[in-house]
Amino acid sequence: MEESRFSVFKELESRDHEQVLFCRDELSGLRAIVGIHNTMLGPALGGCRMYPYKSEQEALVDVLRLSQGMTYKAAVCGLNLGGGKCVVIGDPKQHKTELLWRALGRFIEGVGGRYITAEDAGTTMKDMEFIRMETSHVVGISRALGGSGDPSPVTALGCFAGMRATVEERFGKSSLEGLTVAVQGVGHVGYHLVSHLVRAGVKVFVTDVDNESLKRTTADYRVEVVSPEEIYSVECDIFAPCAMGGIVNADTIPQLKCSIVAGAANNQLGDENRDGEALAERDILYAPDFVINGGGLINVANELEGYNQERALDQAEGVYDILKDVYSRAKADNIPTYRAANNLAMDRIESIERIRRTYTGLRRGGPGSLIRGVS
Ligand code: NAD
């Protein structure tokens, strides 16, 4: 019943999407959806997620929500990129084949560079390399092939820089030494974040549902392990979500005993408005997720100009300044930080749109640099 009332175009209108591509390939069994949200700043870049979605509606809503987030992330990070994302319906443990990725690669090639893919949850560098056999519009490939490799250490670096900005804002101190941080999820990003925190003299609590991830972290660093249920109520300065989205919500916010929420996970707020406001009401400073985790996007975007690690790391550390701008804007406008970040992103997109319309009469410009500092 619900499914029949669902309107694809209503969904596109509600988030202001430009284009959605439904991809089906009989031979490989591929069923994928590419969401292109906004290409005002440049080609839409965003990862390809593989997940056994329960329904087509769930897959579509996910790709629309995620691609919109990528528009905001690219805009606020100062990249000349738009927002896009791809979802492949299937179980990453069972349904991956070379044929499937190459079929997807041909669909991506077909949109002529309007969408650039990368790895995301459920996909790997190897999958991207199959896609690359059919199209050049893919990033996040191995260093050996001229790519930028695993983005998670750079995401963690940016996240740590963002934590420094947030601590400065909340506690007026430039170092994290002596603080306590509770990290939810010590997978790719969480593990590297723990490394930065421990080196900075932070007391770290961790949790994970995966024993292997926990074992690796406790073997390498002095941290205290708590259960997945306990992590929300750990008495700490910073709660750092580094696992799944939607975990800052009406159930968990009352449990929090922290002054700051700052972590790498995407879409942390269960309901952006309700939960963003609830954090502000509890006087918990929220580092907007798409800003503090921008290091990963910054890293893969650097591939488009010829990957240079020094430049990528330097730009990822720039998350510090971007978050400082978000906090200044929130204070000046007396609004919660999640809204300040959205406003900063929209302001940049709208100002570029105005310039383009005024001076060229075009909606999009010609080929220019996709990242700063490259002529
Ligand atoms: P990952 O899958 O490597 O790590 C996530 C970890 O969280 C895993 O170890 C998993 O077992 C654990 N986990 C899952 N559910 C949990 C639960 N209920 N409680 C505790 N732990 C749980 O993923 P990742 O690449 O480290 O990414 C983590 C988050 O950061 C994701 O939300 C991702 O979208 C976001 N992100 C990642 C990057 C990147 O560079 N990898 C960039 C930007 C944003």
pLDDT, tens digit (0-9, with 9 covering 90-100), for 160-169:
999 999 999 9
Q: Supply the mean pLDDT for the chain.
A: 94
Domain membership of residue 26 as a residue range: 2-69+82-138
Ligand 1 center to 246 CA (angstroms) = 12
- The residue type at 225: V
* Residues 6 or more apart whose Cβ sits within 8 Å of residue 13: none
Same domain, 132 and 197: no
Tell me how many domains the chain contains.
Answer: 2
More confident of the two residues 369 and 119: 119
Distance from the alpha carbon of residue 2 to the mean position of ligand 1, in angstroms: 31
230 lines ligand 1 (CB under 6 A): no
For position 304, which CATH number holds? 3.40.50.720
pLDDT value for 191: 98
pLDDT in tens, 263-315: 999 999 999 999 999 999 999 999 999 999 999 999 999 999 999 999 999 99
Residue (of 93, 144, 89, 136) closest to 117 by Cα position:
136
Give the pLDDT of residue 13. 93
Q: Is the domain of 194 the same as that of 264?
A: yes
Q: Are residues 183 and 96 in the same domain?
A: no
In a domain, 316, yes or no: yes
> What is the pLDDT, as a whole number, of residue 358?
81
| b/e map 167-197, b = 16+ CB within 10 Å | bbbbeeeeebeebbbbbbbbbbbbbbbbbbb
CA–CA distance, 117 with 128 (Å, rounded to integer):
8
Whether pLDDT at 355 is above 90 = no
Q: What's the whole-number mean pLDDT along residues 99-126?
A: 96
> Are residues 260 and 282 in contact, defined by beta-carbon separation less than 8 angstroms?
no
Query: Does ligand 1 lie within 6 Å of residue 266's CB atom?
Result: yes
pLDDT of residue 366: 61
Identify the residue whose tokens are 């790391």: 313
Instruction: Give the tokens for residue 270.
Output: 């269960």
Q: Residue 1 pLDDT > 50, yes or no? A: no
Per-residue pLDDT band for 4 (boundaries 50, 70, 90) equals low
At residue 171, the pLDDT reads 98
Give the residue among 69, 123, 65, 118 at the shortest CA–CA distance from 289. Answer: 69
* pLDDT given for residue 356 in this prediction: 81
